Structure 1
Amino acid sequence: MLSELTRIDLRLRRRSMIGYTVGMAVYAFVIVALYPTFKSDSGLDKFSEGNSTVAALFGASGSLTTSSGWLNANLYANFVPLVVLLLAIGYGASSVAGQNEDGTLGTVIALPISRRRVVAQKIVALCLTTVPVAAITAVFVAVGRAFDLSVDTAHLVGITLGVLLLGVDFGALAMLIGAATASRGTALGVSSSVAAASYLISSLAPAVHWIEPARYGSLFFYAVGDGQLVNGLKVPAFVVLVSVTVVLVAATVVVFERLDVR
């Protein structure tokens, strides 16, 4: 059963969650429904082969006419993580720094619960914030079997989990920065910049040789950039994503304990 604090935070974000989820449902259906039209278009593969760096910048790698290539280029390498990150980073920045700036965090702190529990309940809300978009996308991709898309169910579950953990990681980073600086803008700016750098490293690594070694420092690589639709979410990648979450949450607890709440 959700705590009252978690329910309140989710209620405050419900409009953006519903809006992004509905929008993603429409977009995912269009992408799935268009696949039969493009699966035999050799021009797509020629484009990606002749413009490998540009294609990689948008997350397109390998054959775009295969099911995995099509879904990666149009959903999982870019758009789905972007929307999940918008929700997660937005909540992470607002949950502590934003509420401190508008004066509502003081009311939360006045409740008869420890600050550690406050962080824990906000992390639960953060996790739930990322679920609807990732889940609805997975549902429409699964329905894609009716449109000639062939995706292993276990691999689809794996990449969905990777997207969720990616969102939680960057959302937790925004929460930590917000607790450390008491500035929602700083939390948004820094965490978004780190996420953008992580995306660029992961997407360009296959096409730019000198960037390739840096991919192991990119959370995007562990979540969606290592052929998860073909090979599934590997255990080491899962461990990295979860470990980052644990470290960031632990750091947030320490910093939040010392935050001077308005």
Structure 2
Amino acid sequence: MNLELLNRGLGAQKRSAIIWGCALIALTISVLAIWPSMSESGSLDTLVGGMSPELIAALGLEGFGSAAGFLNGNLYALFLPLLFAVLGIMHTNALTAGDEDAGRLELLLALPINRLSVYLSRFVAVMLVLAVIATLVGAAVGFGAPMLDMDIQVTGVVAATLGVFLLALFHAALGFALAGIGLRTGAVLAGSLGALVLGYVAYALLPMIEALESLATASPWHWALGNQPLDNGFTGTGIALLLVGLLFLLVVGLVAVRTRTIRTA
């Protein structure tokens, strides 16, 4: 029964996952494709030459003339983590609060099925979709970069891709927790996307204010990407904080949904 629930969750995401996956892979390949011409022209450093060091750091453009800096500025500093997190939030919201608002969840739970299994299987389905797309994107970078003479370490690509995946999963878990306590679709989206944006603002902009710089370390974005994983590889502390955070949010959602009444529509 749990396998059937998982298959249902995966099937509900199929079309959207294919579209998102193709778009993210196309974005990644297009960024890789412009590297040779940009690096040969020597224009990469001049693109950020007029910016202040603080703004360069906030936008993830440090070392933009290097292969790692180029990929970080164009993919890993903002676009991939933002898009992956939005994907995770939208799919989690649709499979939990969305189905509950539409009355579909009530019909399913009327069957002799454990309520926790239904919710958990749907989150696992979202996690698998994110994992597959992240693997494909990471593979595109890992195999494409050497072909274009980009000096990138495989461990850095793996670490950065894992950071993006865990950051997305963390915010998907936040959406899961909000849906679990009974918020409707709009509120779940607003809360999850709001946390995503505020986390980025804290991570990117607070270091520009000396008195507030230390607060940036509380952002999930900092846990995932603050160590510059493309250059420096894995950071155990950041991964641990993301895992503990998402597990806590999962428990909150499961405990809440177990004790409340499911909306009829």
TM-score of the aligned structures, taking structure 1 as reference length? 0.92
Matches within 5 A, 1:68-83: 68-83=68-83
| Structure 2 gap segments, 5+ residues each | none
- The equivalent residue for 1:225 is 226
What secondary structure, in the 3-state scheme, does the structure 1 residue paired with 2:261 have? coil
Deviation at 1:158, TM superposition (A): 1.5
What 5-or-longer segments of structure 1 have no aligned partner?
A: none
> SS of 1:6's equivalent?
helix
2:120 pairs with 1:120 = yes
Stretch moving more, 234-243 or 34-43: 34-43
Q: Output the CA distance in 1 between the equivalents of 2:234 and 2:60.
A: 19
Contact 1:80 1:133 in 2 (8 A): no
Aligned equivalent of 2:205: 204
1:10-89 alignment runs, 5 A limit: 10-40=10-40, 42-52=42-52, 53-57=54-58, 59-89=59-89
Encode CA deviations 1:113-157: one digit per residue, 9 max, x unaligned.
Answer: 322222321221121121233222211111211112122112211
Tell me, yes or no, if structure 1 residue 99 matches structure 2 residue 99: yes
Deviation of 1:3 after TM superposition, in Å, equals 1.5
Q: Is the 8 A contact 1:202 1:220 kept in 2?
A: yes
Give the aligned partner of residue 146 of structure 2.
Answer: 145
User: For residue 186 of structure 1, what is the aligned residue in structure 2?
Assistant: 187
Question: What is the distance in 2 between the residues matched to 1:207 and 1:151?
Answer: 28
User: How far 1:10 sits from its partner (Å)?
Assistant: 1.7
- Letter in structure 2 aligned against 1:17: A
2:166 aligns with 165
Aligned amino acid, residue 173 of structure 2:
A
1:108 deviates by: 2.4
State TM-score, norm by structure 2.
0.91
Identity %: 26
Match of 2:242 in 1: 241
AA aligned opposite 2:164: V
Q: Is the 8 A contact 2:207 2:214 kept in 1?
A: no
By how many angstroms is 1:56 displaced?
A: 4.2
| Cα deviation 1:84-127 (Å, max 9, x = unaligned) | 11210002222221111000111222233322222321221121
AA of the residue aligned to 1:8? R
Question: What's the offset of the Cα at 1:67?
Answer: 1.2
Question: 1:54 Cα shift?
Answer: 4.4
The letter for the 1-side match of 2:203 is S
1:22 deviates by: 0.8
What count of residue pairs does the alignment treat as equivalent?
261
Question: Taking structure 1 as reference, are residues 208 and 63 closer, same or farther at Cα in structure 2, changes over 3 Å only?
Answer: farther
Per the alignment, residue 5 of structure 1 pairs with 5
